[in-house]
């Protein structure tokens, strides 16, 4: 076990987090290591082999606890890889010292599609973890390949410790029932159609759209990427905007109402 003082304290401002989203966009588009230095990716087949080796890696799952345990309100009922450590992305920096005993182990970060896990891996590498890799394709690719997951509750990671931002004020539309977004009485000043875009497209386009609005105006965002259930509330939080309402529909589309505060 190592002294936790060997792990650097990392504090990330809202501005720096937005910059990380921008760098992630360019990395995704051009696959150029300059944008996210010091971060390696690992394919799901390679991860499966490592997990069955004599020295399996440490899995850090950065998704919301609802998705980690595949509870009601989660998008796809994947669950998580056995023995994963649940550290939602917005709470990663606050929990780095708890992960200090694994500083010199192989660590694999996981998110829905392999985008936010790159940011998590970069943060951990800068904090002093020696071998951090991001799972390429995320838990989506892991499940697509048919590798095993579990929904078993781990007492070290209670479901209600980190409440889902998405679940607060979200609703699923049923026939004859108003959704939370429909109950919102304010005007929508702009609608962003980010459907059919994968991570980090919805977040980056939302950033551009909200910059064009005046303080107090409202942006409606439409997406089809399941990762936006976690990414959009996180983006609103780190940029200081107000997530008024969220909605997921029966045709697997997601709707977010965001008010510009700054």
pLDDT in tens, 41-98: 999 999 999 999 999 999 999 988 888 988 866 666 789 999 999 998 878 888 898 9
The CATH number that domain 170-259 falls under is 3.30.110.40
Provide the 3-class DSSP secondary structure of residue 249: coil
Closest CA to 68 of 80, 58, 82, 77: 80
Question: What distance in Å separates the CA atoms of residue 157 and residue 3, rounded to the nearest whole number?
Answer: 23
Catalytic residues: 199
Residues in the chain: 262
What are the boundaries of each domain within the chain? Answer: 4-144, 170-259
The whole-number pLDDT of residue 162 equals: 52
Q: What is the pLDDT of residues 81-92, one digit of tens each?
A: 999 999 988 788
Question: Residue 170 is encoded by which pair of tokens?
Answer: 């979200």
CATH number belonging to domain 4-144: 3.40.250.10
Q: What is the DSSP string of 55-109?
A: SPPEEEE-S-HHHHHT-TT-SS---B-TT-EE--GGGTGGGTGGGGGGTTSEEEE
Rounded to two decimals, the pTM is 0.62
Looking at residue 113, what is its pLDDT? 84
Q: Do 170-259 and 4-144 fall under one CATH topology?
A: no
């Amino acid at each position: 076990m190592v002294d936790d003082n060997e792990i650097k304290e990392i504090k990330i401002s809202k501005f720096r987090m937005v910059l990380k989203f921008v760098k992630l966009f360019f990395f995704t588009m051009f696959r150029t290591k300059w944008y996210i230095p010091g971060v390696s990716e690992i394919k799901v087949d390679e991860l499966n082999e490592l997990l069955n080796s004599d020295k399996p890696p440490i899995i850090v799952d950065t998704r919301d606890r609802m998705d980690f345990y595949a509870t009601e309100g989660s998008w796809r009922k994947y669950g998580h890889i056995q023995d994963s450590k649940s550290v939602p992305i917005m709470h990663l920096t606050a929990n780095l010292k708890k992960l200090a005993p694994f500083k010199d182990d192989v660590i694999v970060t996981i998110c829905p599609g392999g985008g936010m896990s790159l940011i998590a891996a970069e943060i951990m590498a800068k904090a002093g973890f020696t071998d951090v890799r991001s799972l390429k394709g995320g838990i989506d690719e892991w499940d697509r390949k048919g590798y095993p997951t579990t929904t078993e509750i781990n007492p070290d990671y209670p479901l209600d410790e980190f409440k889902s931002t998405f679940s607060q004020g979200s609703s699923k539309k049923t026939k004859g029932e108003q959704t939370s977004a429909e109950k919102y009485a304010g005007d929508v000043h702009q609608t962003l159609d980010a459907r059919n875009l994968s991570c980090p497209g919805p977040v980056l386009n939302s950033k551009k759209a909200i910059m064009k609005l005046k303080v107090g105006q409202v942006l409606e965002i439409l997406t089809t990427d399941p990762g936006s259930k976690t990414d959009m509330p996180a983006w609103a939080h780190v940029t200081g905007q107000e997530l008024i309402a969220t909605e997921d529909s029966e045709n697997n589309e997601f709707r977010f109402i965001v008010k510009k505060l700054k």
